[in-house]
Structure 1
């Protein structure tokens, strides 16, 4: 059980407030009540148009119960589009902090701006990037591409990177496997002040990656899950889904299927945002030649059919694909030996140093080619893939054959660096933006579809969308090893409507 002390009893809202899954006329608001007794707790909520909460728009009462770990998700309806709102909860005679949220726009919108993040490893660093996002006043929402938590142990297996020695050990110290474990890990994350500031400042739209479950998760298992040691995978996966729904401010895409995550979010005709799940529905990752089996899928048949239909029927100016794992290839049979160590450290190639990393889209080449061919053959324009997972920043032009200079790009891909999860300088032990820079230059020569890369920085992307262009800004914090408010703009790239080619901005 999660420990309860007297300080928490005096403040039942120690995990803050949050909002998520905004639509044009509704948004989910969230809190958790820390209570000294097991009985259900009545929670009052209100939504206002002003930060003083004097102009109440909606209010009501919810019940925090043990079967949902005393979390409360309220789907507030009847709101106005593209409008900022403020909300608050009351329980056990105490009031929560005030949260700020925003609804999505309706048709005719000419501009959107949102942040894009992934890979928040608690024991690897302070969540300074979350704090910097929370301090901004120009964002419509946060797009989270997964690894929202890490289930890992403080003493991980050799295939994983240990955390930093900065006084942020995981709770529990062991790998999460049970309901109690996952709840304790989410509890720890949401006591973090930077994550609380982020969640209280803007709505979250999230998909997932593997660490919400277990490293290397797939449909029927995970690379680090051993049934004889860890128990039944289906039970563990169901527990992880349950706790994720408890702690995220989210609306289930299909209440009849609580393990479905994929969905479309319409952004006022300017863009359609398609969020996919490339982990829990996929076939087991396997090396070549088996990975070339045309029946193998990262999406699963149902999700793939749904996704193609979304692209075929979208009338939006831009089609944004929220894709947890990098889509472009990060492997070449001819890469120079001088970059091999970096590719291995970043897990961009297989541990044997020869084959592709078959845990990402490189391990599902036939299905990836199907998507790219579908966009090209059906003249589906203005596709922008938004990715995470690999912990590094990348600006990419997507082709069926990344190494064919005669082939025209089909789409572009913007990959965010990690929030805290280790990348090259962390793993090599050298200073940030020093020895990695010449390696990055060699990588871009060896992989001509990669137009820019940053193997060191931690932070977030800001995606700016207008009818004419989509622009990506890579922002980086100066350190993870202590709290810091310092950040810098590392690079800016854009793509113009109708022209799937990257332009430095």
Structure 2
């Protein structure tokens, strides 16, 4: 499997060469403190990963073996390699010559110390009846325990874990979502914000010390992409919101961050030494073609920002200038090379389902401008809209206006000031310019490609820390595909940013569903995961949540779980019956 399609033999950056030195003198003792992992499976190969923690500096010889049984009596391939501080003592090998659609067991050994075993499954070929994935994103270590990873690790029927990024966060101790970090024993290392290669390595090491994450990595192969926090918040190809000129060169920061990413994640880059191009495809028989995209670092233009379009004198939005920029045909999120690759890959892909694994929401999340620009909260807008409706009906002499509605209008009608009415009359605009709504033309190109090829298109997303389901409509209003967005592992969602109390969540979710035409599901407060089950007839989406991340003990919050289904050939979302 390569970044440009499964089947090519690729030696990736960070893979360790075999050692032919049988001299065991001066062996340095080392332990396996970060578990094992597998990833980027192909039909005949899979990446195997671990890390040794040496008791003293130097080269560490590590042996590895792959077997078809958990007792390792049927070893099918093995080898030795040497790791050292140049790659932070990580071990990554490409186990090749394997059989398609087969479950394997693997382990590592350094001196007399053996790693825990892991399980890895190669991709199936030919006819396939079902494929099941867990979709995860956004794990902020100080925000709480990784109970969502623990819940996922208890599933024994997954074909792969798809991680859509924000595997780590770059913030300093005491910053984002760290209010209870000291109490939970989850204050970040290093203490400061991440800038150097050493900083990023240390943070990955802390994350990978988490036993729930270790358990999930050992259980199932990961297919990963980065989002922004693997480098810095709201990254784009030349910078980031969370990077200032006085913090050094952004390219140097990015280079260190991505080197650490490739060292610590079981990923196979498409070209040796290349840290920036990770778009690639995975073929699950004749059922699912999974295309992993980079919407952050490779090609993304700088995101638009609403303050740049607000009139400081009036506080109003320059809608004409804003819409001209947001629909600019030159704005790109993927970059031309990646976009061309995706279009050509969709053209030649033959699986029943075409799945785009990427970071940010593709669905049109259009909200009234007063809400999107935070001039009104959702409840405030709802109240004003209701009052305006009652006032219009009263003025028209509507006989259906009830006594309670008239009383409400009389009590609160003074809120309908000229300024409030002006806010109500503003158009709907995108609520998140960091998502595909801020790159509208390129989204149309992708949807038009899928539509012209009559593909069963499924888009998966993370990033927002909330769960969503969208019907993907093109400019003509046709539903071209569906989008499923996962909640976060631990990062807080809109309930945190907007200060929504738990008792108000259901009403707020209902209000957003009423405001956004293509939105069919929203969960604004629960931490959890998404599972997708594909057959030739349909894809079923199941959002699963935990009741807490503040204690290690948790239960699944079944009352908040939700399921939808979409049928092949019919790109719409239906409640599961």
TM-score normalised over the length of structure 2: 0.79
1:208-256 per-position Cα deviation (integer Å, ceiling 9, x unaligned): 10000000111011111112x2111111111111000000111112225
C-alpha deviation, 1:164, in angstroms? 3.4
Of residues 445, 463, 466, the one that matches 1:370 is 445
Alpha-carbon contact 2:29-2:111 (below 8 Å) kept: no
1:89-148 per-position Cα deviation (integer Å, ceiling 9, x unaligned): 110321111111111111111110110001011111100011111111110110000001
Moved more, 45-54 or 421-430: 421-430
Is the counterpart of residue 324 in structure 1 residue 359 in structure 2?
yes
Of residues 527, 543, 552, the one that matches 1:458 is 527
Aligned to 2:511: 442
Is the counterpart of residue 420 in structure 1 residue 495 in structure 2?
no
Q: Distance in 2 between matches of 1:149 and 1:70?
A: 19
Q: Distance in 2 between matches of 1:294 and 1:163?
A: 43
Q: Distance in 2 between matches of 1:429 and 1:338?
A: 10
1:15-47 per-position Cα deviation (integer Å, ceiling 9, x unaligned): 111111111111111110100222110001111
Q: Does the residue aligned with 1:481 lie in a helix, a strand or coil?
A: coil
Give ranges in structure 2 of 5+ residues lacking alignment. 1-27, 306-321, 383-427
Aligned to 1:504: 575
Is the counterpart of residue 339 in structure 1 residue 339 in structure 2?
no
Is the counterpart of residue 388 in structure 1 residue 462 in structure 2?
yes
Alpha-carbon contact 1:272-1:314 (below 8 Å) kept: yes
Q: Distance in 1 between matches of 2:137 and 2:549?
A: 15
- The CA RMSD measured in Å over matched residues stands at 2.1
Alpha-carbon contact 1:84-1:103 (below 8 Å) kept: yes
Q: Distance in 2 between matches of 1:29 and 1:138?
A: 20
Q: Does the residue aligned with 1:482 lie in a helix, a strand or coil?
A: coil
Aligned to 2:102: 83
C-alpha deviation, 1:294, in angstroms? 1.3
Choose between structure 1 and 2: higher helix proportion. Answer: 2
Aligned to 2:236: 218
Give ranges in structure 1 of 5+ residues lacking alignment. 1-8, 344-352
Q: Does the residue aligned with 1:169 lie in a helix, a strand or coil?
A: coil
User: Which structure's CA Rg is the greater one?
Assistant: 2
Q: Distance in 2 between matches of 1:356 and 1:338?
A: 12
Alpha-carbon contact 2:43-2:124 (below 8 Å) kept: yes
Alignment of 1:173-322 (within 5 A): 173-227=191-245, 229-255=246-272, 257-281=274-298, 282-287=300-305, 288=322, 289-322=324-357
Alpha-carbon contact 1:12-1:92 (below 8 Å) kept: no
C-alpha deviation, 1:484, in angstroms? 2.5
C-alpha deviation, 1:333, in angstroms? 3.4
Aligned to 2:24: none
Q: Does the residue aligned with 1:238 lie in a helix, a strand or coil?
A: helix
C-alpha deviation, 1:503, in angstroms? 1.1
Q: Distance in 1 between matches of 2:262 and 2:187?
A: 24
C-alpha deviation, 1:355, in angstroms? 6.2
Q: Distance in 1 between matches of 2:381 and 2:153?
A: 32
C-alpha deviation, 1:397, in angstroms? 0.3
TM-score normalised over the length of structure 1: 0.90
Moved more, 205-214 or 307-316: 307-316
Q: Distance in 2 between matches of 1:486 and 1:79?
A: 38
Aligned to 2:145: 126
Q: Does the residue aligned with 1:97 lie in a helix, a strand or coil?
A: coil
Aligned to 1:361: 436
Distance change >3 Å, CA 65–CA 185, structure 1 → 2: same
Distance change >3 Å, CA 191–CA 342, structure 1 → 2: farther
Q: Does the residue aligned with 2:150 lie in a helix, a strand or coil?
A: helix
Aligned to 1:164: 180
Q: Distance in 2 between matches of 1:355 and 1:408?
A: 19
Aligned to 1:410: 480
1:124-177 per-position Cα deviation (integer Å, ceiling 9, x unaligned): 110001111111111011000000111112233xxx554534331111121100
Alpha-carbon contact 1:142-1:204 (below 8 Å) kept: yes
Aligned residues: 478
Q: Distance in 2 between matches of 1:96 and 1:394?
A: 39
Q: Distance in 2 between matches of 1:163 and 1:318?
A: 42
Q: Distance in 2 between matches of 1:101 and 1:163?
A: 37
C-alpha deviation, 1:292, in angstroms? 2.9
C-alpha deviation, 1:430, in angstroms? 6.3
Is the counterpart of residue 150 in structure 1 residue 169 in structure 2?
yes
Q: Distance in 2 between matches of 1:342 and 1:108?
A: 52
C-alpha deviation, 1:497, in angstroms? 0.6
Alpha-carbon contact 1:114-1:462 (below 8 Å) kept: yes
